[in-house]
Amino acid sequence: MSTLTKLQTQKTAFYVLITYVIFQVSGFILVIPPIREFFLQFIHEDGINSGIALAAWWSSMTAGIAFIVCLILINRNKNFWNVFNGEKASIPVSIGWGIIGFFLVYFGQIIGAYIEAALGIKAGSENTETIMLVTEVAPIMMLATVFFGPILEEFVFRRVVFGSLIQTQSFWVAGLISSIIFAAIHLDFTHIILYTISGFVFAFLYYKTKRILTSIIAHMLLNGVLTILTLNIDKLQQISDQLTK
């Protein structure tokens, strides 16, 4: 890869990162009363639920816009995905590893939960609970948490961060650093071990197949399954109680 091509690719990576950062902080604009009131008139919810629904719609819409912008930026640079040497895994193999990756991440989180318990950290993530509360009020939030969010995070933390580090560092160093950054951005430092383990598995999947598709599939499956299980926890508990009677 020529120096000019490297500079163009680094520029694309930087623009993708900036797009993600803007998406992440865009919600602060809703703190401004006139802007908040303007958007609330389009929300058909009452009381506190109106603010929750607005947050859900804002997150989903801005995530969708960020996704489209990233696709446009990446589409303009055909070398953006040329991170690793060697042949990429086929699409079917990549999909297969994505499904396997979901179970790897889930198993990793079980191990992480045991480690946290041994350290005296209580189970349950406030970050996840907040997202689930928002999703219950406004299911549109699932677009952000299950679809756009995982894709954007894989673009940024696996391709931009991990993909840049792997050029000069070993897999273990690049994987660990990118995973810690991935964990930190979720602002749930109590459970940083769980997020770091997940990020490391996602990095491994990307490195293994050389296709971002693999980590995206695993990430989307993880978020999707956790969302479904959490939203239906009461129903699942009732079924469990009936089966044990």
* Mean per-residue pLDDT pooled into runs of 10, the chain (245 residues): 82 96 94 93 85 94 97 94 93 98 95 93 80 89 95 97 95 97 91 95 98 98 92 72 65
Tokens 């940083």 locate to 192
Catalytic entry in 116, 153, 154, 219? 153
- Predicted local distance difference test score (pLDDT) of residue 214: 98
Whole-structure pTM value: 0.92
- Predicted local distance difference test score (pLDDT) of residue 45: 79
186 is an active site residue: yes
- Predicted local distance difference test score (pLDDT) of residue 50: 92
191 is an active site residue: no
The one-letter code for the residue type at 113 is A
The one-letter code for the residue type at 183 is A
Catalytic entry in 136, 154, 186, 219? 186
Task: Supply 94's token pair.
Answer: 């990549």
- Predicted local distance difference test score (pLDDT) of residue 240: 61
- Predicted local distance difference test score (pLDDT) of residue 244: 66
- Predicted local distance difference test score (pLDDT) of residue 1: 60
3-state secondary structure 14-77: HHHHHHHHHHHHHHHHHHCHHHHHHHHCCCCCCCHHHHHHHHHHHHHHHHHHHHHHHHHHHHCC
